[in-house]
Amino acid sequence: MSKKINRDVLWLLSLISVFFGILLISSNSTEVKAQTVNDYIISNKIQPVSIQYREGTFNDWFGYENGVGKPEGVVVHETADYNATAENEVSFFNRDWPRIQSYVHAFVDNNEIINIHSADYGVWGAGPTANNKYIQVELCETHTQDAFARSIANDAYYVAAKLIQYNLPDIPGKTVVSHDQVSKMYHETSHTDPVGFFASMGYSMDQFNDLVITYYNNLKNFGSVYNNTGSNTNAGNNNNSSSSANVLRVNNSNGDYVPIMALRTDGTFARVTNRALMNNTDWQTDKTREYNGVTYRRVATNEWVATTYVV
């Protein structure tokens, strides 16, 4: 238990060092309440990174019980690997899934969100019943307060974005479930993640759900995870598609690839010749721009796709 206390003390000290001005001392002053992880994320407007879509090696393409493209929610996992990054986990699972009989849609850490299997199809992450219902995402472990907060922002963003992409409501315990809840509901696995790791970082599934709901509502209403301007105001000059899905699926029915364009400093677009998007792939988008009567959506720093290719 002294270890636990030491960890709590360290946690408090790190918070105090960063937020010495924001500590709240309760009225009877026997208890010091530190800023929560969610407060830290929101007050610092920690910006989630974009979802990277990389096709993985998992080749068991099965639809959910309601069909292809019809997940019922998202399972939140935690890797239980002290040191592995999302990149490490992606490499490991792409190599070893046939041996370990396990695969998920995405891995998230404090720097990256890597989606390795289309969420239109199921994966092997939590027993057959859950695998036939849910998108599944693994959070990688980090061990500093700031890295943990960043990883949580990324994880919550992934969950919210997928709920929106598949037109699902955000209902904690129903459309957003922990692996722990899945184990208790279906009794096909005994895993309890991410509860223990969350607790070790002073966090809980309830708090995670609070952040997901915040992101979900803001993405739906404003197109970004934080509703007030300031952090994300440089969206293009045509940002009025309020409901705009943040994820585009692109397809070129006349070819194998979807062409992309680069925006030049003079405001014109030029065809990118050494890169294209694969057909039927999903891309995060954040900006819209009109040029010569064509609407373009931005999918990378300077890569734009004409909406004529958006499915």
In the region spanning residues 61 to 90, those forming contacts with Zn ion, defined by CB under 5 A, are 77
In the region spanning residues 19 to 48, those forming contacts with Zn ion, defined by CB under 5 A, are none
State which residue, 191 or 220, has the beta carbon closest to Zn ion.
191
Binding of residue 193 to Zn ion (CB under 5 A): yes
Least distance (Å) between residue 194 CB and Zn ion:
7
Least distance (Å) between residue 191 CB and Zn ion:
4
- Fill in the DSSP letter of residue 47: P
Least distance (Å) between residue 137 CB and Zn ion:
10
State which residue, 127 or 223, has the beta carbon closest to Zn ion.
127
The stretch near Zn ion (CB under 5 A) out of 25-33, 37-45, 102-110, 175-183 is 175-183
* Alpha-carbon distances, residue 306 vs 192, 264, 275, 289, 290 (angstroms): 44, 15, 15, 9, 9
State which residue, 123 or 263, has the beta carbon closest to Zn ion.
123
State which residue, 14 or 132, has the beta carbon closest to Zn ion.
132
Q: Letter for the amino acid at 277?
A: L
Binding of residue 105 to Zn ion (CB under 5 A): no
Is the torsion defined by CA of 144, 53, 46, 208 positive or negative?
negative
Task: Copy the structure tokens of residue 288.
Answer: 């819209």
Q: Distance (Å, rounded) from C-alpha 45 to C-alpha 105? A: 26
Q: Distance (Å, rounded) from C-alpha 227 to C-alpha 150? A: 18
Binding of residue 191 to Zn ion (CB under 5 A): yes
Q: Distance (Å, rounded) from C-alpha 249 to C-alpha 310? A: 6
Size of the site for Zn ion (CB under 5 A): 4
State which residue, 112 or 138, has the beta carbon closest to Zn ion.
138
Is the torsion defined by CA of 10, 11, 14, 15 positive or negative?
negative
Task: Copy the structure tokens of residue 121.
Answer: 């199809």
Q: Quick one: which of 105, 133, 179, 298 contacts Zn ion (CB under 5 A)?
A: 179
**Footprint of Zn ion on this chain (CB under 5 A)?**
77, 179, 191, 193
